Amino acid sequence: MPVDRGGFCRVNGDAAASVSEPDDGHLSVHVLDTVTGGPAPRLAVALESRSDAGWRPLGRQLTDEDGRIDRLGPEAVSAGCYRLMLDTAAFFASRRSSSFFPEVVIAFKVFSPGENVHLAVLLGPFAYTAYRGS
């Protein structure tokens, strides 16, 4: 069960939990499998945004054969708090393996409307690393 950390999200110093008005920016994702040293294809990835009522689903897609999702979620990304959820249990099960982390949840902030945000994830059955790419 995901943990709701309440008001952890502060955008530009304000305690506002919801996202701002959108602009042109978008979110892209690239997941690499550290076991094979290649992409993580067909991995289910979900995106949610933080609102006053809690987390709101924005989109769900599978990574392509290169482990990428070129645009996840709404047409434009607003300033605010988001979380990316990767279904690692199903991904590794499809490879006849298991994962210590059945789900990976990555919470992050977008500071300005119109930002292009690229999240890169290095994923293995016993570890993961996420960083903002370019």
Widest pairwise Cα distance in the chain: 46
Tens of pLDDT, residues 2-50: 544 445 564 444 444 445 454 577 899 999 999 999 999 999 999 999 9
CATH number of 27-133: 2.60.40.180
Residue 84 has pLDDT above 60, yes or no: yes
pLDDT-derived band of residue 100, with 50, 70 and 90 as boundaries?
very high
For the chain, domain boundaries: 27-133
Rounded to an integer, the average pLDDT of 88-101 is 95
Q: What is the mean pLDDT of the chain?
A: 86
> In terms of C-beta density within 10 A (0-12 exposed, 13-18 middle, 19 or more buried), how is residue 13 classed?
exposed
Q: What is the pTM of this model?
A: 0.82
DSSP E strands in the chain: the ranges are 27-33, 38-39, 44-51, 54-62, 68-69, 80-86, 104-110, 117-123, 128-132
Rg (CA), the chain: 15
Q: Let me know: does 88 contact 98? Beta carbons within 8 Å.
A: no
